[in-house]
Structure 1
């Protein structure tokens, strides 16, 4: 069970979203008293929330003048979920392997990879960086016969994706990807790696990669910093209903259709 999220931390998240949505850099914020009335909390709670925003570099507090919005320290990355890690690398980012080895598949992993209970898998965790800031944490799992090909590929995986590595170096085609994305909270297991507080809002994604025979060859659980990602889809009146237009494939807006297979196009699915 996750620990309860402190009220000041939730207020910090609400204020952060409000600042990015409604305030221009340099704009003056309401007073602490106004925030207390707005949120129905004590001044101490508001001060704790503002202190966190100050620590994050989003606001500055000037004695006698007030509190001012500095602006986002790093713009959010807007991209397709099907190309998340690749988009980081395209923007001069990189990935660092923080764990690899052979383990007994956890129940969730065994189910997604269609493996029997007690089967071994290769576990490979990475942190994706942009401008030397961690923005995504990926827990990856491969069936043992597939994973042995990518063990000790730290340098290759620094600037390429797992899907590309499997396809281009080991001739393992990726035919489809099944993906879900949901809101969640940062767990102690990866909060430090992402440089966020435990309980911070994050996005959690699952991806199962299928080869040309429909066999799962890679499963990943990815945690995205909510303050560094924005997903977008294009909806159109497509065949009598508002839904994602499969013809819309702009470079940056995302495909956020949870649970639907993403078919390979021009070179394969990407992580």
Structure 2
């Protein structure tokens, strides 16, 4: 059965403080996953709420009717927001907005693996070093079954000018790295090497982008002042079994990186 938007006036009117939170309306785009659109819309409503807004969300059924989606779709959207720490769900009590929900939640975008490969291509890449290392604490949650991972550090430069644009640190699962030829990383992006050369059945990549300041290593590699603004990208790559096979941490020069999103009205 096709899901259509079914506005619920009761949710679109200002709610008294002792009733459920009133989310914004949404016109669905059939070209994008419905759960993703609903989670983004509800996230915007939560982060843009007034200080005196109630913290209680409507029930799954009420929200599903409001957005014109199935309860299963709504449940998936709520799970995404719960994972991000924006809401908490309590059996028999309901779903509540976390009072400390921050406006600075990372932006997550959906796209194809080919789009990511295309984005990573077009620059000259130099492999600086690689080898097995103990699992760094910052990525330990992604490799719970490993004592070691294989690290790859690369510098990317513009093809024409040779000017550095970003440097990448990849942490690869040792079983996957065993089939990886490091020389391939001078020619192709890690995602392409894993998929097309190693044969990893990639199911999804979760991307986040945030602002940071250049640390000493980044300042030296990218030829920028220490503590100057950079963009810090994290990409977590999963195979079909749900195992993390690669965690990429990329530091981009703030003056050489653009971030664009196309939003369709219909």
TM-score tier by shorter-chain length is 0.5 to 0.7
Match of 1:112 in 2: 142
Which SS does the other structure have where 1:191 is aligned? helix
- Match 2:228 to one of 193, 200, 221: 200
Whether the aligned pair in 2 keeps the contact of 1:113 and 1:218 (CA below 8 Å) is no
* Runs of 4+ in structure 1 over 4 Å off: 80-86
Q: 1:219 to 1:124 in 2, by over 3 A?
A: same
Q: Following the alignment from structure 2 to structure 1, what is the Cα–Cα distance between the partners of residues 248 and 150?
A: 12
Instruction: Indicate the residue corresponding to 2:121 in structure 1.
Output: 89
Summarize the Cα distance change of 1:106–1:185 in structure 2 as closer, same or farther, 3 Å threshold.
Answer: same
Q: 1:147 offset after TM fit, Å? A: 1.4
Question: In structure 2, what is the equivalent of residue 137 of structure 1?
Answer: 167
Is contact 1:81–1:231 with CA below 8 Å preserved after alignment?
no
Name the counterpart of 2:25.
none
Seen in structure 2, the aligned counterparts of structure 1 residues 147 and 101 have a Cα distance that, compared at 3 Å, is same
TM-aligned CA deviation for residue 236 of structure 1: 3.6
Q: 1:7-57 deviations in whole A, cap 9, x for unaligned? A: xxxxxxxxxxxxxxxxxxxxxxxxxxxxxxxxxxxxxxxxxxxxxxxxxxx
Matches within 5 A, 1:241-252: none
Structure 1: runs of 5+ lacking an equivalent: 1-79, 239-271
1:112 deviates by 2.5
With structure 1 as the length reference, what TM-score do the two structures score? 0.52
1:159 to 187, 191, 194: 187
Aligned Cα RMSD in Å? 2.2
2:244 paired with 1:216: yes
Counterpart contact for 1:114–1:216, Cα < 8 Å? no
Distance 1:237 1:126 in 2: 39
The answer (yes or no) to whether the contact 2:167–2:252 under 8 Å persists in 1 is yes
Structure 1 residue 180, shift from structure 2 partner: 0.5
- Would you tell me which structure has more strand in proportion to its own residues? 1
Task: Output the CA distance in 1 between the equivalents of 2:224 and 2:112.
Answer: 21
**1:101 & 1:190 partners in 2: Cα distance?**
20
**Counterpart contact for 1:89–1:159, Cα < 8 Å:** no
Match of residue 153 from structure 2: 125
Contact 1:174 1:210 in 2 (8 A): yes
Where structure 2 has 5 or more consecutive residues not aligned to the other structure, the ranges are 1-110
Superposition deviation, residue 149 in structure 1:
2.0
Is the 8 Å Cα contact of residues 120 and 189 (structure 2) preserved in structure 1?
A: no
Structure 2 counterpart SS, 1:232: coil
- 1:167-246 to structure 2, matched below 5 A, reads 167-237=195-265
Q: Could you tell me how far apart the structure 2 residues matched to 1:86 and 1:126 are?
A: 17
Q: Against the structure 1 CA distance between its residues 81 and 106, is the aligned structure 2 distance closer, same or farther, given a 3 Å change threshold?
A: farther
SS at match of 2:209: strand
In structure 2, relative to structure 1, the CA distance for the partners of 1:128 and 1:170 (3 Å cut) is same
8 Å CA contact 2:166–2:250 kept in 1: the answer is: yes
Shift of 1:87: 3.8
Check whether the contact 1:134–1:193 (CA below 8 A) recurs between aligned residues: yes
Give me the whole-angstrom Cα distance separating, in 2, the residues matched to 1:107 and 1:223: 18
- Quick one: distance in 1 between partners of 2:204 and 2:193? 16
